[in-house]
Structure 1
Amino acid sequence: MRILVSLVSAQTIPNVEFILQMKGKVDKYLFISTASMERDGNREWIMKAADISENQLLPTIVVNPVSFEDIEQKLSEQIDENHEYLVNITGGTKVMSLRVDHFFRDLQSSIFYLPGNGTYLQIHPGKGVKTFDLNVSLSVDQYLQSYGFDVESKSTPLLDFEYAQHFYNQYIEHQERYRTVLTELQRCRSKKNTTINKIQGLANFLEEVNFTPSNEGKLTKYEVRYLTGDWFEEYVYYRLLKEVGISEDYLGLGYQIKKADVPNEFDILFVHNNRLYAIECKTSIFTEVDGRQKSFIGEVLYKSDSLQKGFGLYTSTSIITVSDILDGEGKVLQPLKKHMERADLNRINVVAQRDLNESLAHKLGIRLN
């Protein structure tokens, strides 16, 4: 019997990648875990993302992650040396990885390590290291499942790219003129329907941007949301589809996700080269408070920063806005200076208006094949 061995740790992606790479080549799966990983559910996340059923499992070996003696004892008691083992030592603690590597070298085994660059290395048997391409592409749902997130829902585009591009061009040219009517419309985002003639200037605005409501004289909740910001999410979504060249399995918008009953939402999530990109789209990063202009980019940075920690090492977070963040001399606007310094420190991309004329994929640091 051929058995795939995985070491469970906080970083679950290497386990999921290797299991999917070896699908159809093994008979059973064995996890070496710890009490804390079992309590947090990391092994179950891996199983769900990699589509492993309970009847494919051998009993999980739970070890003390910092005790060579405990790991050796548990392995000696539970490992049957008559089987063949494929061992992925990428996860676990350093003590677990070292001890498991040493133990399985005396058995009929092949030992592997995933460096996180789209390859996997065979470090045993034989002299030297053999490198293989990792032929696995995780979907957005698989990536989220790997870290314990459930997808509650996601959106579908309301209109096509041609119209989103048209709206973008109109907004860039006339955003100051549209500001008042869009501010009023923003207050209606939670209403089921909004009567057009009750908002001064709304009818003229709809005519200028060539937007035709599905019901005469009214806007649905989804149309209001589109006009007050979702159009920009769809614009970015369509550009990424085109520029990155990925399918909708690997890119989605309007994600509502949940982990341990804690809900979160993201404007755009996509996976490229098994790396998750989380994007917040904002038509403006400024708002009026008591007659003064205030930036809420700090709030967006806080959300992006905190949620980035829940998505593991293979994550890139970005904020894309139609606002400009630089003055005429190319310097960061003073109200944004501290926020931008924090964004740089936390490796959060901020893509502003003038950047949108260039390759969006390049601005987000996406390595295209």
Structure 2
Amino acid sequence: MHIHICLVSQQLLANYIPIRMDKPDQVHLVSSLDMQKKGLTTRFETLLKQGGFNSVTHTGMPDAGMAEIQRFTRTLYETLTRQYPHAHLTVNITGGTKLMSVAMLDIFSAAGHAVIYTDTAKDTLERVHNCTLEPLPAVLGIEEYLLAYGATVHNSASWHNEWKNRAVKRSAAAELLARATQDKKLKALITVLNAMAMNALSPNGDELLAPEQAFKFPLTGEQLTLVKSLAAQDLFTLHKNRLNVTFVDAERTRFIGGHWLEEYAWHIAEQTGLNDVACGVEIDWENSRTHNELDILAVHNNRLLIIECKTVRFSDDRQKSNNTLYKINSLGESLRGLFGQKVLLSAWGVSPTMLDRAKTQGIKILRPHELAAYIQQWSGVTA
């Protein structure tokens, strides 16, 4: 029988990743009262249960006072060795306070049991008992990662085959629109198309109320080529006068209204070969009625990438830019952990002022044509 023993702390993944690696028969959590009050012990128990691991919790580990910590640890050791005399024990000393880690190391290693330490900054696991290092394998998916930070994924658009099939079918349209954002005249056209699509929809975007829309200016040759290409992919109908369009349904109209950028980002992340990618992710928070939707989430090598996609012109609305940065920053700080990354993917770019504000909050702002190279750099995956 193999047992992992973990000190509960705020960084649950440093304990959970080695559990996924070693696949022990049982996990014993050692928790202080403070970790219990913060809900981290219960969260870790939930994470283990969903991962298919049996767990036992030992509460009451003192937060301070070496003598008290040692007494608790000795009692724990005696209890475990009495109940499981033939078990192989592995103690993870990554969590807890330094004094807790020292006590666990002293008492368990002196008896010849395995001791490990997770260095997430260097993506390595150190097996302290025999002084060996091994790389951390990519074991985490999006759901596990978010659960470790108190968020439960209830749904994702990209989980559904119908959504995937649509997205794959119109990937060329999403790429065409993304490329067009680099051209001044085509950028202006996309802005107009976005507005026409939004005018065609109900306020919540669920219904197509006014399918007939019209350009208020004659299209240039390049603009007409783009519009014809989009119409050829059944995203709308272009009338013979080359000014009027008829939107087909609410879903395709939402795509023209801005959802194309989310699908483009999803395609890029998928094509890069990241471990887990999702679009339109709906999450709830533990002990809260708060509900959020995130445009793109990706996990690669046990790290999280959060991408918020926007087709609005931030220079026209300072409040909107502040709200967007606040959302990305607050969600990112809650979810990303120590080494995740927050990205705002803006179709049009942002002002220098907004760029500076984003930088101070650790938010990377990218244009569509920059995304592929950035994801490769972030993930270490080469084309």
TM range (shorter): 0.7 to 0.9
- Partner secondary structure for residue 322 of structure 2: helix
**Distance of 1:217 and 1:181 partners within structure 2:** 12
The answer (yes or no) to whether the contact 2:4–2:27 under 8 Å persists in 1 is yes
| CA displacement at 1:225 relative to structure 2 | 2.1
Pairing partner for 1:323 from 348, 353, 362: 348
Segment drifting more, 56-65 vs 250-259: 56-65
Picking from 243, 268, 277, the partner of 2:305 is: 277
Aligned residues: CA RMSD = 3.0
What one-letter code is carried by the residue in structure 1 that aligns with 2:325? L
CA shift for structure 1 position 90? 0.8
* Aligned position for 1:123: 128
Q: Deviations over 1:76-110 (max 9, x none)?
A: 22333345320111111222222222221222311
Q: Where in structure 2 are the equivalents of 1:180-329 lying within 5 Å?
A: 180-186=192-198, 188=201, 190-201=204-215, 207=228, 209-210=230-231, 211-213=233-235, 219-243=248-272, 245-246=273-274, 250-260=276-286, 261-286=289-314, 288=316, 294=318, 296-311=320-335, 312-325=337-350
Choose 145-154 or 296-305, whichever is displaced more: 296-305
Aligned partners of 2:362 and 2:51: how far apart in 1?
37
Q: Which stretch has the larger CA shift, 315-324 or 33-42?
A: 33-42
Counterparts of residues 154-165 of structure 1 (less than 5 Å): 154-156=156-158, 157=164, 158-160=166-168, 161-165=171-175
Pair 1:285–1:103, CA change in 2 (3 A): farther
Q: For 2:37 and 2:140, how far apart are their aligned partners in 1? A: 25
CA deviations over 1:3-38 (Å, ceiling 9, x no partner):
210111111111110111110xx3321111122322
Task: Flag the 1:101–1:182 CA change in 2: closer, same or farther, 3 A.
Answer: same
| Partner AA of 1:138 in structure 2 | L
- Does the CA contact (< 8 Å) of 2:11 and 2:95 recur in 1? yes
Structure 1 residue 171: Cα displacement: 5.1
Deviation of 1:217 (Å): 5.5
CA drift at 1:51: 4.0
Aligned length: 344
Match of 2:374 in 1: 360
Corresponding residue SS for 1:359: helix
CA distance in 1, matches of 2:236, 2:349: 33
- Which of 354, 357, 370 lines up with 1:342 in the alignment? 357
Letter in 2 for 1:151: V
- Kindly report which structure 2 residues correspond to 1:135-154, keeping only aligned pairs within 5 A, or say none: 135-154=137-156
What percent identity do the matched residue pairs reach?
21
Kept in 1, the 8 Å contact 2:211–2:248? The answer is: no
Q: Any idea what the Cα deviations from partners look like across 1:231-273, whole Å, max 9, x if unmatched?
A: 1111111112112x135xx001111111132212211000011
Runs of 5+ consecutive residues of structure 2 not aligned to the other structure: 159-163, 217-223, 238-244
Q: Scaled by the length of structure 1, what TM-score is found?
A: 0.82
Q: For structure 1, list consecutive stretches of 5 or more residues without a partner in the other structure.
A: 326-335
2:89–2:113 contact (8 Å) kept in structure 1: yes
Per the alignment, residue 351 of structure 1 pairs with 366
Equivalent residue number for residue 44 of structure 2:
46
- Equivalent residue number for residue 14 of structure 2: 14
Code of the residue aligned with 2:22 in structure 1: it is M
Q: TM-score, normalised by structure 2?
A: 0.79
The yes-or-no answer on 1:99 pairing with 2:125 is no
Seen in structure 2, the aligned counterparts of structure 1 residues 285 and 104 have a Cα distance that, compared at 3 Å, is farther
The one-letter amino acid of 1:212's match is D
One-letter amino acid of the counterpart of residue 92, structure 2:
N
Residues of 2 paired with 1:282 and 1:192: CA distance?
A: 19
Paired AA for residue 16 in structure 1: Y
1:166 aligned partner:
176
Deviations, residues 171-190 of structure 1 (Å, cap 9, x unaligned): 55422134234224325262
Change over 3 Å in CA distance of 1:219–1:40 after alignment to 2: farther
SS at match of 1:324: coil
Distance 1:194 1:58, change over 3 A: closer
Distance in 1 of aligned mates of 2:68 and 2:52: 26
**Superposed displacement of residue 278, structure 1:** 0.5
Gap change, CA 1:182 and 1:135, over 3 Å in 2: closer
**CA distance in structure 1 between the partners assigned to 2:101 and 2:248 by the alignment:** 59
Deviations 1:103-131 (A, max 9, x none): 2122231111011122200112x5xx211
